[in-house]
Amino acid sequence: MTALIDVENLTLKFRTDEGLITAVDNVSFSLNKGEVMGLVGESGSGKSVTAKALMHLNARNAVYTPESKITLHTESGPVDVLSLKTPRELNIVRGGAVSMIFQEPMASFAPAITIGKQMVEQLQLHGDYTNESAKRWSIEMLDRVGISDPSKRFDQYAFELSGGMRQRAMIAMALSTQPKLLIADEPTTALDVTIQAQVIDLMKDLVAEFQMGIVFITHDLGVVAQTADKVNVMYLGRMIEEGPVREVIRNSKHPYTQGLLAALPKLDDLDSPLTPVPGDIPSPLERPSGCVFHTRCSKVVGDVCRITDPRDRKIDATHKVACHIYDEVPA
């Protein structure tokens, strides 16, 4: 397995009128080729901000600490993503080697330009395409993602397609530059379950075919179980648990991950009560001291949770958790 992207000590703050807000706090992970990583957490946990950092796409008021480092391994050698500045340099992470699929496909296509024109535009930006060859390739990609009558769709506008079609067109567009890394930000959240199942199948096929790495952002643990190889759980900008998908779902260690699983309505046991994680995610302006989760945690072991930020504990070689409960567990 070859490494595709390495994220080390990523800390990201936003400069706002109310002061510096920490959105991502010392996050490290790496992803190999052909691997699907699920990034899970509530709204406000920093999932999207982390993903956008991979494309250096965060707003101008974002401040990265000097220790933050994101390395993308391309065929022409490693690229230090955070040091890229000019639009020309950034091309590589914005549609070239890295592509992104957004949550709301209606909002991601320009409404007054045909789907085809948008696909051709980005192909010509990133590759050596003539109008003819770009069109041919775009139509082929539309066909690949299962859009019927692709040459007709090529000349249509986003509003003429249904939700599922639009998301497929979005996927076709993101994959047409043959990226090495695909970032999918809640790609199925706005879709019906039946269409969601189709899109998930499609993405699995494409990973197998193109050997891409995928960062799959979602709050739906069921979707993660169906797609991901490994899972990272985020809470208030901290990575609190990470491990292979089977480990994290069947043998979750962090009280927050356990809480998320308990809150999920399960079809095979209709009598079990739904147990919410108590309270709301705190405002990033009032980050709790110590362990960021201690304000909602039912398993606080003592003052240590309020005072000390837990470091990552290894449960085994691949399963890590940031929680004080596991201090006694021999690593």
Partner 1 sequence: MSDVLICAKGLSVGFPIGGGLFNKQVLKAVDNVSLDIKKGSFFGLVGESGSGKTTLGRALLKAAPITAGGAHYSDGEVDYDLEKITNDQLKDYRKRAQLIFQDPYAALSPRMTVRDIIAEPLEVMRLTKNRQETDARVREIAAKCRLNLEHLRRFPHAFSGGQRQRISIARALVSAPKFIVADESVAALDVSIQADVLNLLKQIQSDMGLTFMFISHDLSVVAHTCDHVAVMYLGRLVESAPTRKLFAAPRHPYTKALFSAIPSLDPDDRGSAQKLTGEIPSPTNQPSGCKFHTRCPFAIDHCKQVEPKLETDGTGHDVACHRWKELMAPQAA
Residues of this chain that bind partner 1 (CB under 8 A): 42-44, 162-165, 192-198, 200-201, 204, 219-223, 225-226, 245-246, 249, 259-261, 263-267, 270, 273-277, 280-281
Task: Tell me the closest approach of the beta carbon of residue 62 to partner 1, in angstroms.
Answer: 22
Residue 125 or residue 197: which is nearer to partner 1 going by CB?
A: 197
Least distance from partner 1 to the Cβ atom of residue 275, Å: 6
Q: What is the DSSP letter of 329?
A: S
If the CB atoms of residues 22 and 218 are measured against partner 1, the closer one turns out to be 218
* 81 DSSP 8-state letter: G
Q: For residues 84 and 262, give the distance between their C-alpha atoms in angstroms, rounded to a whole number.
A: 42
Q: Closest approach of Cβ 223 to partner 1, in Å?
A: 5
249: which 2 tokens? 């779902």
Give whichever of 83 and 283 is closer to partner 1, judged by the CB atom. 283
Round the CA-based radius of gyration of the chain to a whole number and report it: 21
The tokens describing 127, both together, are 């590759």
Q: Which is nearer to partner 1, 84 or 215 (CB)?
A: 215
Mapping DSSP to helix (H, G, I), strand (E, B) and coil, where does residue 193 land? helix
Cα dihedral 216, 74, 121, 218, rounded to 10, equals: 10
Closest to partner 1 by CB, 82 or 165: 165
Cα 140 off chain centre by: 27
Give the closest residue to 186 by CA, choosing from 29, 38, 24: 38
Q: Which is nearer to partner 1, 55 or 172 (CB)?
A: 172
Provide, rounded to whole angstroms, the least separation between the CB of residue 8 and partner 1. Answer: 28
Characterize 219-234 residue by residue with b for buried, 16 or more Cβ atoms within 10 angstroms of its Cβ, and e for exposed.
bebebbeebbbbbbbb
Least distance in angstroms from the C-beta of 225 to partner 1: 5
Residue 287 corresponds to which tokens in the numbers above?
A: 């980050």
Q: How far is the CB of 77 from partner 1 (least distance, A)?
A: 35
